[in-house]
Amino acid sequence: MANADRPYDARRGVTSSEMSKRQSMLRDIPRGQWRQKDRNLAPEVSRKLENAFIAGELRFGMWDNGLFRDFDLAKMQEIPGFRELQRVKEVTEDGPLSIPV
């Protein structure tokens, strides 16, 4: 575990502020959807990232369209390339909204 002298947890490669940000994300958004560059990721990719994030994984790798994609869920980025990931509130498509008359 990180201590006051070393805020960076060398064993896990994660700072204590990243872990507290993760906890607040889980509290504020219990079920999320994943985005990159303000665009939703494919539903299957988003679902797998969400399951890994909720399970407490810090890094997650998966095959997607013949390419291996590696994600750092603690730093919220895809590696290599360090493309930023966003976790937003999941939008469910249950059908059209009904407006009371």
pLDDT tens, position by position, 21-40 = 888 888 888 888 999 998 99
Domain count, the chain: 1
* Residue 62 resides in a domain: yes
Q: Which residues of 70-95 are buried (b: 16+ CB within 10 A; e: fewer)?
A: ebbbbbbbbeeeeeebebeeeeeeee
pLDDT tens for each residue of 46-98: 999 999 998 888 889 999 989 999 998 888 889 888 889 989 888 765 444 44
Tell me how many degrees the CA angle 2-55-7 measures, rounded to the nearest 5.
Answer: 15
* Residue 20 resides in a domain: no
d(CA 15, CA 2) in angstroms, rounded, equals: 8
* Residue 10 resides in a domain: no
pTM score of the predicted model: 0.69
* Residue 94 resides in a domain: no
* Residue 7 resides in a domain: no
* Residue 8 resides in a domain: no
* Residue 12 resides in a domain: no
Print the domain residue range for 65: 34-89
* Residue 38 resides in a domain: yes
